[in-house]
Amino acid sequence: MAKTKTKFVCQECGYETTKWMGKCPGCQEWNTMVEEFVSSSTPGWRTSQTTMQSSRTKPQPITQVPREKEERMDTTMAELNRVLGGGVVPGSLILVGGDPGIGKSTLLLQVSAALASSKKKVLYISGEESIKQTKLRADRLGITDDQLFVFAETAYDIIEQTIESVDPELVIIDSIQTVHLQSVNSAPGSVTQVRESTSALMQIAKSKGIAVFIVGHVTKQGSIAGPRILEHMVDSVLYFEGERHHTYRILRAVKNRFGSTNEIGIFEMKEVGLEEVKNPSEIFLEERSSGAAGSAVVASMEGTRTVLVEIQALISPTSYGQPRRMATGLDHNRISLLMAVLEKRVGMLIQNQDAYVKVAGGVRLDEPAIDLAVAISIASSFRNVPTQAGDIIIGEVGLTGEVRRIARVEQRVLEAAKLGFERVILPKKNLGGWTVPDGIEVIGVQSIDEAIEVAIGGASNGPTFEI
């Protein structure tokens, strides 16, 4: 008979130990260790090993491997196709994560309907809703197609039999935390169950050439729940982001074996479902107030797309012993770094000022090219002098106050020209070697104080001091 042993597994990072601990040594989280039972006999693992052994081929030189063109399934949603790298690759395993109520199920149901309308058989398996609840959502979205099959089940053995009988081209599992294997002696949603269920689904996807979308819950920190190995097992990881009280949603690829990473797709949530936003720059800038101090527009690269967004800053005298530094859509440490550069290299006395900086529209920016726009928005608010409404500001700022070269400058300037901007302030090292579009002026700067002089002039309503 098989022996049963117990182990304690952290539900945050997957750390395993033979005894209970209040604090996980792996991720330093408290009260995350859960007892799980392990059987010494693992028939599922032996079966998968046997299958792998039978499907193995002999090693061969890479020059003799035949080149095959990737056939992708068109989702008819240009924003989703962009994020996936051109469409859904058959046999791929795609993980979609996001906050509760953000619209993951709505997005995947719309994808299912789009592929079903193109005569592709789709199987939508829900472990959180009944078939009637899925039908209600489909009616709201106006989905009626016989090629879309819905099924409510959480037992993996039954799910596997259903996939065998339906033989679909696309399978959606909503969500992976509800699926459980009978051979694994732990509760659904545990680290072991999530890992083993994903591994089993991966074997189905690769062996049968079926594209599989799996929905993953997120933790309170915003990362996908379950072991970190889950993101390594899948082919693509997509995060669905956005505020629940705003209509705009951002689908971001943080891993993609079949396309570029950090690509984003932007959608708007409406009564009839998610609709694509064709030109996000216009959406993010449509409510921009002209003549307000502390505002700067930057051309940021999100994957292969240029997005123009507004960065807002508010600098005010502090009433606390230690000034506050708050950032929304930006790295908090980057704000502190740029304020230190402004104080040391430009002479702005902002060590006793509270700083509040945000990216308008709910977008999160993390590339170095936004440094100069953030610094100028802070300087504009501190001096109470507005920037010009027709300016775009891009550039990386170094600790010595220099403005450093950035990538894809021509693409950024072209997008600014399309939206009617008149002037671009950028690193001087980026001048030359490319064609400036008609109707826009390009100004190269070498240092942050030179950029501030060009953007807001020498006027000052705030205190300064000389170094």
In a domain, 465, yes or no: no
Q: Give how many domains the chain has, as a whole number.
A: 3
The closest alpha carbon to 343, from 399, 392, 291, belongs to 399
Annotated binding site: 98-105
Give CA–CA dist 29/32, Å, rounded: 7
Full domain range(s) for residue 105: 74-278
270 and 214 within one domain: yes
In a domain, 362, yes or no: yes
Give this prediction's pTM: 0.77
| Higher-confidence position of 216 and 467 | 216
C-beta of residue 379 within 8 angstroms of C-beta of residue 348: yes
In a domain, 53, yes or no: no
Q: Does the structure show a pLDDT above 70 at 237?
A: yes
172 and 33 within one domain: no
Residue with tokens 């936004």: 370
The closest alpha carbon to 449, from 410, 415, 417, 403, belongs to 403
Task: Name residues whose C-beta falls within 8 Å of residue 90's C-beta, 6 or more positions apart in sequence.
Answer: 71, 73, 169, 209, 210, 211
318 and 262 within one domain: no
Percent of the chain scoring above 90 in pLDDT: 58
293 and 255 within one domain: no
pLDDT score recorded for residue 138: 93
- pLDDT (tens digit, 9 = 90+) per residue, 322-350? 899 999 999 999 999 999 999 999 999 99
Res. 231 pLDDT band, cuts 50 70 90: confident
C-beta of residue 310 within 8 angstroms of C-beta of residue 302: no
Beta-strand pair 248-256/236-241: antiparallel
Annotated binding site for ATP: 98-105
Map residue 9 onto helix, strand or coil.
strand
In a domain, 66, yes or no: no
What number is the average pLDDT over the span 126-142?
A: 93
Q: Does the structure show a pLDDT above 70 at 467?
A: no
171 and 251 within one domain: yes
What number is the average pLDDT over the span 389-414?
A: 95
pLDDT score recorded for residue 46: 39
| Higher-confidence position of 32 and 401 | 401
214 and 144 within one domain: yes
347 and 265 within one domain: no
Tokens standing for residue 182? 């009978």
428 and 297 within one domain: yes
In a domain, 273, yes or no: yes
Side-chain half-sphere CA neighbours of 435 within 13 A? 2
Q: Does the structure show a pLDDT above 80 at 1?
A: no
Neighbours of 284 (CB within 10 A): 22
Q: Does the structure show a pLDDT above 70 at 216?
A: yes
What's the order of all strands across the beta sheet hosting 305-317?
295-302, 305-317, 353-359, 325-328
Q: Does the structure show a pLDDT above 60 at 8?
A: yes
316 and 265 within one domain: no
In a domain, 384, yes or no: yes
pLDDT score recorded for residue 458: 53
From residue 131, how far is each of 34, 137, 207, 243, 427 by CA, in Å? 32, 10, 28, 28, 57
What number is the average pLDDT over the span 306-321?
A: 92
186 and 107 within one domain: yes
Res. 275 pLDDT band, cuts 50 70 90: very high
- pLDDT (tens digit, 9 = 90+) per residue, 37-52? 766 554 444 344 444 4
| Higher-confidence position of 425 and 34 | 425
222 and 122 within one domain: yes
In a domain, 60, yes or no: no
369 and 264 within one domain: no
What number is the average pLDDT over the span 275-279?
A: 88
Amino acid at 85: G
Q: Of the candidates 278, 297, 328, which is a domain's last residue?
A: 278
